[in-house]
Structure 1
């Protein structure tokens, strides 16, 4: 079962290891990023980044669809993580019945981007993807990690500002 969906430019890192995975009792992580999946060294680093007992695989968008579908119907508590909302949008278009709650965390500053909060910046391409995800019925929350001390902020709160 898919229990958490996250966009974070760092994919698996300390916050995932110490907060997201334990709090959600995650036993499986599916990383989805075309560039990481195509780089054997990076792929291996991310596959080794999770706590012991948590299976991690990194896939291209096309190759991730089958494992995601399988995890939707099995009992493995699964985290799906992508670097960008635009990647997640491709997944939602292929699997429209995927759970509709999305956590957006670290996204680096870019030239055409605007600041959302802390280390979350959104550029025009990602804003368009977020708008489309919202139109598909997704609830999009901006939060670094559970209990980060920040007030709740959702895409619906900022969508008309940009």
Structure 2
């Protein structure tokens, strides 16, 4: 195994159930991680056609309307791991965004994580990290009318803040929420505390729907049942 394979396999163990599933998932990472030395001997690949970014380029004046002036959200996902193999391959291929936007105040301040996210983007898709306030501004900017965006949130709280600020998300894919002190394991990939439960319930009141799946091929789980289970487990721990 090369180093990229090790890293991806380590991360994938939190959200995949079998060694076979992990092995199948990291094949592409393995290919990317193999380098031929000297590089002049590296087989040349046919150039990939980059997708149109759908993003304003250059100095486009404020107020300019591109397309219908409304950014399109092909997927909004809550995932503690943000942009990783399952998102870069499975969800990107399924939803076909031309831009991936990580929406997080904390990550936007972390230069290393921002660079890692930009480098993890699949070919032909740009990846950016922005604070929540900036995402709210982008959502109202008519210059992003041709953008098909995949939004990635670390927490349901970040998603709620964005939606309250005017980011028009109708459905959230709940993919992965890591365990930490004070949280309860609801299933193999989701851990919640009372704050998370309350946030999801508030999102429900706003009319947001939930698609609980880690990958596109997974069968969706019932969010109401998961929230009830989480509440019961939290109550038992108090």
User: What is the TM-score normalised by the length of structure 1?
Assistant: 0.89
* In structure 2, C-alpha distance between the alignment counterparts of 1:68 and 1:56, rounded to whole Å: 16
* 2:138/2:144 contact within 8 Å kept: no
1:155 positional shift: 2.0
- Structure 1: segments with no counterpart, 5+ residues: none
The aligned runs of 1:1-150 (5 Å cut-off) are: 1-70=72-141, 74-95=145-166, 98-148=168-218
1:35 positional shift: 1.2
Deviations 1:81-138 (A, max 9, x none): 1100000000011016x13110111111123222222211112111111110011001
* In structure 1, C-alpha distance between the alignment counterparts of 2:222 and 2:170, rounded to whole Å: 13
Aligned to 1:154: 222
Higher Cα radius of gyration: 2
* 1:8/1:82 contact within 8 Å kept: yes
* In structure 2, C-alpha distance between the alignment counterparts of 1:110 and 1:71, rounded to whole Å: 40
* 2:91/2:215 contact within 8 Å kept: yes
RMSD: 1.8
| Runs of at least 4 residues off by over 6 Å | none
User: What is the TM-score normalised by the length of structure 2?
Assistant: 0.62
1:71 positional shift: 7.9
* 2:163/2:169 contact within 8 Å kept: no
* Residues 85 and 39 (structure 1), Cα distance of their counterparts in 2 relative to 1, 3 Å cut: same
* In structure 2, C-alpha distance between the alignment counterparts of 1:86 and 1:30, rounded to whole Å: 17
More strand by share: 1
1:53 positional shift: 1.2
- Structure 2: segments with no counterpart, 5+ residues: 1-71, 232-238
Work out which structure has the larger RCO, using CA pairs closer than 8 Å and 6 or more positions apart in sequence.
1
Aligned length: 159
* 1:2/1:72 contact within 8 Å kept: no
* Residues 73 and 11 (structure 1), Cα distance of their counterparts in 2 relative to 1, 3 Å cut: same
* In structure 1, C-alpha distance between the alignment counterparts of 2:79 and 2:140, rounded to whole Å: 21
